Structure 1
Amino acid sequence: MDLVLVAGVSMRAAPRVLELLGSLLGGSLAVDYGSVRTWLLRLGLFAFEGPKEQADDWALLIDHTVQLGACKCLVIVAVRLSRAPYPKRCLRYDDLEPIAVVPMEHSTGEAVHRELERVVDRIGVPRLIVSDHGSDVKKGIERFREQHPTTATTYDMAHKGACLLKHRLGADPRWSEFVAQLGRTKAHVQQTELAPLMGPALRPKARYMNLERVLRWARRMLDLLQRADCANVDPQRLLAKYGWLTEYAAAIGEWSQFQEVTRTATAYIRREGYHHGARVDLTERFACLDLGPPARKLADEIERFVAEQSAAARPGERFVGSTEALESCFGKLKELERQQAQSGFTGMVLSLGALLGKWTEETVRTALERTPWKAVTAWCAKHLGESLQAKRNKAFAAPQPETKPG
């Protein structure tokens, strides 16, 4: 399974790799694609539905993942705060315990609240819930906390930083003009000798969480325009197509400072968590940055936010402040699904469970013994129904000819 989950080998390629290794080692390591997929889903189902430890220091990370179709999938994973790796390192897959995976066509605050109450039955009342403040998730958490006031909640620092950037850049006419000019220039140079210097695309989704590449490119291009010594490029052509960047030099510097402030805060919280000393630590880090007044104002706002998020932490307690590990799992799921993602959610969503936690020979053996394939098919029938591909096949199926009597 490590070939698929750790090395990133596809489920179809893994049997071939094992076959090749077997021939080189003089043995037999024969296995087929169907077996790999079956084992993966059985492990995943066991990980989500197997017995869990009751404790009062669980931190839940909760988010939705979406694919083609109307269905969303609510995923809840957890880590005990007493076992969190802060401040030595960030959370990893093996730190997280799979708790729930819930496909739902209609996600509401009530639905999220209901699933959180089910979590209580399995692991106890959580100490903390971490999210990106998606509307349904946020409402569900608020309802849950009305009944469980001892549960604290924190906001993912990366999403908070993106919101602060959006507030500033979205209201800056220079930014919208810059983005428009960037798109026009890309269209003009992508089939020319200037294509190697083309700017990176701005992602339509989570744009303000992915500004670093485009701002770094803009700074490098400004430096290149000043030097005008790019090999194999005519300086006049370079100036004609990219000279407009010089008009935004001051703005690019200001935006880069904004981005550096949010990057610094996100990197700190990702590794250290929210805690009573977090604001002081961040103040010291921001003091090392060369910031103008607008960026200094942003840094002050982030310092206040971090203090607010850390306020409910007890002395010596560090709250999780990042859902990055969970969101990374969603990306890994899409890698595992590959082209199957065009079918919307399938049983492969259970593979999320196999990605997480610490697996040993003993736990793998236990999972496979307690989770037969029929349990996986029953779960899929109950929670997923027909895939998009199955519905597509029905829609385009040729009509059956009528049977004539006699």
Structure 2
Amino acid sequence: MVKSGINFGETFSANPKYWLHNILPQRRALKYTDGQILALEITTSPTGEWVQSVLNSVSSRVGIPFQIISDHASNLKKGIQLFQSHHPSIIYTYDLTHAMAKLLEKELFADELFPNFLSDCHQCRLEIQQTEFAFATPPPQRRKSRFFNLDPLLRWATTLVSIPLLKFFKLLPNYHRDRISRRFFAKFSWLFRYQRHIKLWSLLLHMTRSLETLLKTYGLNSASIYLYHQYLSSLHLPSSFLPFQHQIFHYLHSQLPSHISHTILTSSDILESIFGRYKHFSQRSPLQELLSLLLTIPLSTVNLTKQFIHDALTTITNSDLSQWVDSTFGQSMLSKRNSLFSNNKFS
């Protein structure tokens, strides 16, 4: 699994035989400790050629991979395809979660009402977060990757258009019912013009989420594709959904190599999760720069036994870490900032 961040990239590896025989029968997703970080590289120019060079370096140490999973970031896609051109037996899989998010984005924004709905949700949040209805505010929207996290917003909208006012009367016992009714319709009546569309949007989302659950549990093979087809048939989808359904099946068949008879992975969620943990830690760093906190990425895959912690504390000193940071990153942003402003004090 390969991921590229701002000025760095990471490669996570899980043994395909171990996954097939030990993890897949448990019907669970990969855990951090099911694999290891094979590379954590830093660059000022993360081009496709750079990605290829990293893959070449890793394969020279551990061997040619059976499968590579990643999103379709242009540099990653180019680098992996360059690497694959020299090793055509490698299966290159477009990450399921990213693929479904892209399909959703294209489908939902084809409906001109959807961006209006998002804008109205944001405006509603601003208007009621300081009122007695603050507990019913729409969930915050992501600035990036919003289609990875649509579930809470559509769940909120579905609840608000279907919940009886009696529920609000009980939750706001100190307010007169007439006031609650007037305020409710003043703040939330805009939702009802989207009511039919909310149901359709939620159904589109359900189509992708049910596929993600299936493949992340059972993997991708001809049987899982058949199971998904049967499930969609049971939903009695409207005919207008057929083009979207065809796009999903096109993705599935394009990712299943004809010469492979066994089950394959389709998701690099574990690598996204590891990167998410790193971002959580990096927010504590001054100016959020890339420094020693990068080491939390490979550390996430380690079983932190007493012996491991003892060995780390007795073999690696703080001086060793400081030297590594200095040689890898040079002077820190905070140090540069302090140097810039230290002599410019107001008299």
TM-score (norm 1): 0.76
Contact conserved, 1:157 with 1:321, CA < 8 A, in 2? yes
User: What secondary structure is seen at the aligned counterpart in 2 of 1:339?
Assistant: coil
2:294 maps to 1:353: no
Larger deviation: 334-343 or 345-354? 334-343
Counterpart position of 1:129: 68
Aligned in 2, Cα 1:382/1:268: closer, same or farther, shift over 3 Å? farther
Contact conserved, 1:77 with 1:100, CA < 8 A, in 2? yes
Counterpart position of 1:75: 10
User: What secondary structure is seen at the aligned counterpart in 2 of 1:100?
Assistant: strand
Equivalent position to 1:242, from 181, 188, 195: 188
Counterpart position of 2:4: 64
Contact conserved, 2:107 with 2:244, CA < 8 A, in 1? no
2:273 maps to 1:334: no
Tell me how far 1:182 sits from its aligned partner.
Answer: 1.7
Query: Which structure: greater helix fraction?
Result: 2
Tell me how far 1:376 sits from its aligned partner.
Answer: 3.8
Counterpart position of 1:275: 221
Identical columns (%): 26
Aligned pair count reads 333
Tell me how far 1:206 sits from its aligned partner.
Answer: 0.3
Aligned in 2, Cα 1:214/1:141: closer, same or farther, shift over 3 Å? same
Counterpart of 2:182 in structure 1: which amino acid? Q
User: What secondary structure is seen at the aligned counterpart in 2 of 1:329?
Assistant: helix
Equivalent position to 2:289, from 341, 344, 366: 344
Tell me how far 1:338 sits from its aligned partner.
Answer: 4.4
Counterpart position of 1:45: none
Tell me how far 1:373 sits from its aligned partner.
Answer: 5.5
Tell me how far 1:352 sits from its aligned partner.
Answer: 1.4
User: What secondary structure is seen at the aligned counterpart in 1 of 2:14?
Assistant: strand
CA distance in 2: counterparts of 1:150 and 1:238, whole angstroms:
60
Tell me how far 1:200 sits from its aligned partner.
Answer: 1.0
Tell me how far 1:335 sits from its aligned partner.
Answer: 3.2
User: What secondary structure is seen at the aligned counterpart in 2 of 1:240?
Assistant: helix
CA distance in 2: counterparts of 1:200 and 1:254, whole angstroms:
20
CA distance in 1: counterparts of 2:157 and 2:280, whole angstroms:
31
2:30 maps to 1:117: no
Equivalent position to 2:334, from 367, 389, 398: 389
C-alpha RMSD of matched pairs (Å)? 2.3
User: What secondary structure is seen at the aligned counterpart in 1 of 2:168?
Assistant: coil
Counterpart of 1:328 in structure 2: which amino acid? S
Tell me how far 1:314 sits from its aligned partner.
Answer: 2.2
CA distance in 2: counterparts of 1:324 and 1:286, whole angstroms:
24
Tell me how far 1:380 sits from its aligned partner.
Answer: 2.5
Equivalent position to 1:286, from 232, 243, 255: 232
Structure 1: gaps spanning 5 or more residues: 1-60, 67-71, 401-406
Deviation per CA, 1:13-46, whole angstroms, max 9, x where unpaired?
Answer: xxxxxxxxxxxxxxxxxxxxxxxxxxxxxxxxxx
Tell me how far 1:327 sits from its aligned partner.
Answer: 1.0
User: With CA pairs under 8 Å and 6+ residues apart, which has the higher RCO, 1 or 2?
Assistant: 1
Contact conserved, 2:282 with 2:289, CA < 8 A, in 1? no
